[in-house]
Amino acid sequence: MPSRLGAVADLAAVSDGEQPVWLALGEDGTISRWDMATGHHEAVATTTVPDEPDHDPWNDRPLRRRLHASHDGMFAAVVNDYGRFGEVIDLRTGEVTLDLENEGYETETVPFSLAFGQSQGRCVVIHRTDWNRLDVSDPQTGLLLTDRSIPVPPEEGPLPEHYLDYFHGALYVSPDGKRILDDGWIWHPIGVPSVWDLSPWFETNVWESEDGPSRVDVCDRGYYWNSAMTWIDSVRVAVEGIGEDDSVMRPGARIFDTSRTGQYEMAVELLAIAGPTGPFFSDGSRLFSCGDAGLSIWDPVEGKLLGEVPGLSPTHHHPDARQFLQLGDGVVRLWTA
């Protein structure tokens, strides 16, 4: 990496016109736009997200800075994964447009829920504002787009309408931008990835993320979440781990069709592939898994291993550039599919 770029804490892929570039978050808080093809980089903003020195890590998951970016590179968000604070920045001005805070309840169990999406041609940011609540805001103005009042549940008796007993986790927007995958969990600790449609949530039903008609649970696994997962296309998702409980979990990927429901009204499982581990990525047709030995390429229809790239364990993926990137020790290793 260019020495003047400094130590990099995280990267995020963006498309600047027709040229795919990366945003780099420095350990000093500087956000830079970096064209790896030319080596050119320039600072565009600085994050002011506060540290959380009293953070108590859970299950070997330390607090870490995470960089998110809108597809067009106009907005970025810096959050404390497994923490409670973050912010959204307009990269055209360098100004913070939205301070993020998720109230701190059980935050050490999940990354900070955040993703950028699109609604009626404009950029929106999806973010957790409480353990069981996600909201949608305008990243340019900070305006809340999903204003609603969730009643406090009574000590006894039925739960109020729309109340959601669910700890939101990492968020993944589908390649067509129409759906979202949430790697959350419920008590008594069971990981339950869930999917719902974005358009009705943004435009007609502010309760879509709680109990909207498009919401579908993918699967359930006792004591198992924060695992690798990715969209294959606009319907299929791949979820890491074969098994129903963390004590019997085997390496592999389960492929689900989220447009259909089957037993227990969960997404239909299409197949399980033994072997894939680590972060998951997809190019719309293939599944890429990143284990310690290297990058593996799989057919998610037949479950076959299609190829391997030994010695490369990517941490990031640029879908537009078809680049897989491994970041570490001041060096970037890049492979193009």
Is the full-model pTM beyond 0.85?
yes
Q: How far apart are CA 324 and CA 45, in angstroms?
A: 25
Q: How far apart are CA 208 and CA 221, in angstroms?
A: 24
pLDDT for the residue 17: 67
Q: For residue 40, is the peptide bond before it cis, meaning its omega torsion is within 30 degrees of 0?
A: no
Q: Please name the residues in contact with 291: beta carbons below 8 A apart, sequence gap of 6 or more.
A: 276, 277, 278, 313
Strand order in the sheet with 267-274: 229-231, 236-242, 250-261, 267-274
pLDDT for the residue 84: 97
What is the CATH number that goes with domain 163-337?
2.130.10.10
Q: How far apart are CA 72 and CA 15, in angstroms?
A: 5
Would you say 206 and 217 are in contact if contact means Cβ atoms under 8 Å apart? no
Burial class (CB in 10 A: 0-12, 13-18, 19+), 81: buried
Q: How far apart are CA 110 and CA 175, in angstroms?
A: 23
- Classify residue 199 as left (phi > 0), alpha (psi -120 to 50) or beta: alpha
pLDDT for the residue 179: 97
Would you say 115 and 71 are in contact if contact means Cβ atoms under 8 Å apart? no
Longest dimension (CA), the chain: 63
Report the Cα 159 to chain-centroid distance in Å.
29
Q: How far apart are CA 93 and CA 264, in angstroms?
A: 49
DSSP letter for each residue of 220-232: -EET--S--EEES
Q: How far apart are CA 203 and CA 206, in angstroms?
A: 8
Q: How far apart are CA 294 and CA 308, in angstroms?
A: 7
Domain assignments of the chain as residue spans, ordered by start: 163-337
Strand order in the sheet with 41-46: 8-16, 19-26, 30-34, 41-46
pLDDT for the residue 329: 81
Tell me the per-residue pLDDT of 180-193, one tens digit each, with 9 for 90 and over.
999 999 998 999 99
Digits of tens for pLDDT over the chain (337 positions)? 888 889 999 999 998 766 789 999 999 999 999 998 888 999 999 999 999 999 999 998 999 999 999 999 999 999 999 999 999 999 999 999 999 999 999 999 999 999 999 988 899 999 999 999 999 999 999 999 999 998 888 888 898 999 999 999 999 999 999 999 999 999 989 999 999 999 999 899 999 999 999 999 999 999 999 999 999 999 999 999 999 999 999 999 999 999 999 989 999 999 999 999 999 999 999 999 998 889 999 999 999 999 999 999 999 999 999 999 998 888 889 999 8
